[in-house]
């Protein structure tokens, strides 16, 4: 079984910094030998992280909201159309061993909240103090990373705990 | 077509105040002639709001995460098991014309976030300043109500806009 | 808790006879005091059954594949958009206490198969010998009704068993 | 983007012949360089096809009905828990470029029906004349293969058409 790291973040609303960080994150995830899972669309954090992973020869999975493979990032190797709209956010979370949220928007917020609800380890990256305060008020288990390298280190630790407990 | 107000809130983690407010909210929703929709389980805000609606002779719908009608509030008239776990949160939002979040937890946070994502009108009731600040940072469209009566007034206004635009 | 009878059948591909039978079925379901649940769209068996139920003052629920209330039968009282495409077929089955399939098509076939998979009682009405033979080869529990009155009688019996076992 | 062949078939109810054929099918799919997608559980056709693919060094994906990676075949590389029960059958179909049904049961029947509903190419293998007659009565597009080699040839042709049209 392969280890899957989910990178969640804004699509059309992603900032330049969100995308830049997501690209680095994708590269480092691939270099660890982990699979990268995203929401699969050809915009924002999903697209940037997948491109970063591909340039490091990683394997990428995209869980699409649409029933067909439309508007999919061309850096996705394994395209999983669901036809379930935002209900695919649940699958993004359940299929990832560790989740890194890069930036914040309403879709990303639903995914972080679902991670907390289902007990999945989640790391916040490039999140505002307001976002951090909110999710930490929901759960003591929310991690915050100050940069991409720290996020990867935290993912390693969290993955170790996942492997250990299974 | 009947108008449906979704009341979302914590289950096992609900506070006494959450449940007390939810009960009043359910009663007032029923008195308006609106249908009450909840996540259907026999705990917390879901259960309290449904009980409040029933004592005012309202009609109640519960969208369950389970495939069978287990652990369902006995104040639910129309039981919709989905077998989809937390993906039913998406249906809670899409099936409601207006959503009132009463209290806050990770499941409720996912629902408020999905409401913002899908453009559904949402009112926060009994939410902490931290929660209010977070959701208002995501969208200018989040409403905050100071008490149950104000939530109902806001729901009336929001419902008027929904009816007008359809 | 109210008893819900699901009527499943072709949409655009429904025959005149399918729709005629579905209308009568909807009327008789409403006269029994049962709720009618369908896939909610404004075509075929879904629409005809819902119209039949409304002319007998029944209450109708529609579980839509779309995220919005579009192309919905105007004979639906309680509109539940899911945004989940054909995955809503699973909800059609799980939310019904008894299912009557009226006519046959690929969507209806998926629903009858899911009913057998999940142990939900199902009655075939206006099904070809080929369809009957197939579903009876999958399960000894498939019922076949020769006319609308017989389908209602079988639904009464099946509902009695559901109530008894719960 | 990698090509994905979905192999659907009975779980606990699979016959020895179903599993034997599924194993060969998995092996040949892997030898073509295609990814194998199944329902992921550690029984029946899902498990046998995945084992066949692994012994030929193929890559295997499993779309699980459960929210956790439980009862999963240990021949699955990429585990996608959905927590959506039978609604994951829709994803099995939408994520596959071509579907081969090996044997028949109620779950498999729902998947073949959903493939016809969504226009996905589907090949029946080891299906009874009753099953063949039923699905061919639903659609002129159902293919029947007499053996594993013929199923692979048909999958090649169907995949060629998919690639051509996209």
Chain C's closest residue to D112, CA to CA, is: C110
pLDDT tens per residue across span C3-62: 999 999 999 999 999 999 999 999 999 999 999 999 999 999 999 999 999 999 999 999
The answer to whether D95 contacts A84, with C-beta atoms less than 8 Å apart, is: no
Integer Cα distance of B16 and B25 in angstroms = 14
Of D2, D81, D94, the CB nearest to A82: D94
Residues from chain A contacting residue C83 (CB–CB below 8 Å)? 84-87
Half-sphere exposure of B64 (CA within 13 A, CB side): 23
D33 contact A CB<8A? no
Residues from chain B contacting residue A110 (CB–CB below 8 Å)? 109-110, 113-114, 117
pLDDT of residue B164: 74
Q: Which residues contact B11 (CB under 8 A, 6 or more apart)?
A: B39, B41, B43, B44, B45, B46, B105, B107
Integer Cα distance of C119 and C100 in angstroms = 14
For D60, the domain range is 4-165
Residues from chain A contacting residue C67 (CB–CB below 8 Å)? 85
The answer to whether C84 contacts A87, with C-beta atoms less than 8 Å apart, is: yes
A49-79 b/e (C-beta count within 10 Å ≥ 16 → b) = bbbbbbeeebbbbbbbbbbebeebbebbbbb
Q: What are phi and psi of C40, to 5 degrees?
A: 85, -10
Integer Cα distance of C164 and A47 in angstroms = 54
Half-sphere exposure of D164 (CA within 13 A, CB side): 6
Domain count, chain B: 1
Token pair 């075929």: residue: C44
pLDDT tens per residue across span B111-151: 999 999 999 999 999 999 999 999 999 998 899 999 999 99
Residue A25 clears pLDDT 70, i.e. is over it: yes
Chain-centre distance of CA C129, in angstroms? 19
Number of H helices, E strands in chain A: 6, 7
pLDDT of residue B165: 74
Closest-CA distance, B46 to chain C, in angstroms, reads: 16
How far apart, in Å, are the Cα atoms of B49 and each of B9, B26, B39, D55?
Answer: 10, 4, 11, 56
Helix (H) or strand (E) holding A115: helix A106-118
Residues from chain B contacting residue A103 (CB–CB below 8 Å)? none
Chain B's closest residue to A109, CA to CA, is: B113
Residues from chain A contacting residue D2 (CB–CB below 8 Å)? 77-78
The answer to whether B77 contacts C166, with C-beta atoms less than 8 Å apart, is: no
Strands of A98-102's sheet in order across:
A78-81, A60-64, A35-38, A4-8, A98-102, A122-125, A143-145
Chain A's closest residue to B11, CA to CA, is: A117
The three-state secondary structure class of C38 is strand
Integer Cα distance of B69 and B86 in angstroms = 16
pLDDT of residue D165: 73
Interface with chain D: mutation pick from C10, C110, C126, highest number of D CBs within 10 Å = C110
Of A2, A72, A94, the CB nearest to D82: A94
Question: For the residues D2-29, what does the mean pLDDT come to?
Answer: 98
D91 contact B CB<8A? no
A70 contact C CB<8A? no
Q: Label residue B161 by pLDDT band (50, 70, 90).
A: confident
The 3-state secondary structure of D111-140, one letter per residue: HHHHHHHHCCCEEEECCCHHHHHHHHHHCC
Question: For the residues A83-97, what does the mean pLDDT come to?
Answer: 98
Q: Label residue A43 by pLDDT band (50, 70, 90).
A: very high
C3 contact D CB<8A? no
The answer to whether B113 contacts A110, with C-beta atoms less than 8 Å apart, is: yes
Question: What mean pLDDT, rounded, does chain B reach?
Answer: 97
Half-sphere exposure of D75 (CA within 13 A, CB side): 27
Question: For the residues B1-29, what does the mean pLDDT come to?
Answer: 97
pLDDT tens per residue across span C106-158: 999 999 999 999 999 999 999 999 999 999 999 988 999 999 999 999 999 99
D87 contact B CB<8A? yes
D76-104 b/e (C-beta count within 10 Å ≥ 16 → b) = bbbbbbbbbbbbbbbbbbbbbbbbbbbbb
Integer Cα distance of B17 and B29 in angstroms = 18
Token pair 């629902």: residue: B111
Give percent of chain A with pLDDT exceeding 90.
94
Chain-centre distance of CA C45, in angstroms? 8
pLDDT of residue A166: 63
pLDDT of residue D33: 97
Provide the greatest CA pair distance for chain C: 39
Residue A7 clears pLDDT 70, i.e. is over it: yes
pLDDT tens per residue across span B30-80: 999 999 999 999 999 999 999 999 999 999 999 999 999 999 999 999 999
Integer Cα distance of D72 and A95 in angstroms = 13
Integer Cα distance of C79 and B37 in angstroms = 12
Token pair 């999903």: residue: A46
Residues from chain C contacting residue A85 (CB–CB below 8 Å)? 67, 83-84
Query: How many Cβ atoms are within 10 Å of A134's Cβ, its own excluded?
Result: 27
Q: Label residue D164 by pLDDT band (50, 70, 90).
A: confident
Report DSSP letters for A23-57, one per residue: HHHHHHHHHTTPEEEE--BSSHHHHHHHHHHHHTT
Integer Cα distance of D2 and A162 in angstroms = 29
* Cross-strand bridge partners of residue A35: A4
The answer to whether A131 contacts B113, with C-beta atoms less than 8 Å apart, is: no
Chain A's closest residue to B130, CA to CA, is: A134
C85 contact A CB<8A? yes
Burial (0-12, 13-18, 19+ Cβ within 10 Å), C163:
exposed
pLDDT tens per residue across span D50-66: 999 999 999 999 999 99
pLDDT tens per residue across span D93-145: 999 999 999 999 999 999 999 999 999 999 999 999 999 999 999 998 899 99
> Contact at 8 Å (CB) between B58 and B76?
no
Interface with chain A: mutation pick from D3, D80, D163, highest number of A CBs within 10 Å = D80
Question: What mean pLDDT, rounded, does chain C reach?
Answer: 97
> Contact at 8 Å (CB) between C79 and C54?
no
Q: Which residues contact B132 (CB under 8 A, 6 or more apart)?
A: B124, B142, B144
pLDDT of residue A164: 74
Can you give the pTM of this predicted structure? 0.97
Neighbours of chain D (3+ CB pairs under 8 A): A, B, C
The answer to whether B86 contacts D83, with C-beta atoms less than 8 Å apart, is: yes
Neighbours of chain B (3+ CB pairs under 8 A): A, C, D
D81 contact A CB<8A? yes
B84 contact D CB<8A? yes
pLDDT of residue A12: 96
pLDDT of residue C118: 97
Integer Cα distance of C151 and D102 in angstroms = 33
B68 contact D CB<8A? no
> Contact at 8 Å (CB) between D72 and D40?
yes
Closest-CA distance, C38 to chain B, in angstroms, reads: 13
Closest-CA distance, D138 to chain C, in angstroms, reads: 6
The answer to whether A113 contacts B113, with C-beta atoms less than 8 Å apart, is: yes
Q: What is the CATH number of the domain that holds A134?
A: 3.40.50.450
D44: nearest Cα among D11, D81, D3: D11
D85 contact B CB<8A? yes
Residues from chain C contacting residue A83 (CB–CB below 8 Å)? 84-87
pLDDT of residue C166: 63
C83 contact D CB<8A? no
Chain B's closest residue to D87, CA to CA, is: B84
């Amino acid at each position: 079984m392969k280890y899957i790291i989910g990178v969640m973040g804004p699509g059309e609303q992603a900032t330049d910094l969100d995308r830049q960080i997501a690209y680095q994150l994708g590269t480092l995830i691939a270099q660890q030998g982990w699979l990268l899972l995203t929401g699969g669309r050809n915009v924002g954090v999903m697209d940037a992280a997948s491109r970063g992973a591909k340039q490091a020869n990683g394997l990428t999975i995209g869980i699409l909201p649409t029933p067909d493979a439309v508007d999919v990032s061309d850096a996705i190797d394994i395209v999983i159309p669901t036809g379930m709209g935002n209900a695919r956010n649940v699958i993004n979370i359940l299929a990832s061993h560790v989740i890194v949220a890069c930036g914040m928007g309403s879709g990303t917020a639903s995914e972080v909240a679902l991670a907390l609800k289902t007990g999945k380890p989640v790391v916040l990256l490039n999140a505002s103090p307001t976002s951090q305060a909110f999710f930490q008020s929901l759960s003591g288990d929310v991690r915050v990373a100050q940069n991409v390298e720290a996020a990867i280190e935290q993912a390693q630790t969290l993955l170790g705990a996942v492997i250990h407990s299974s």
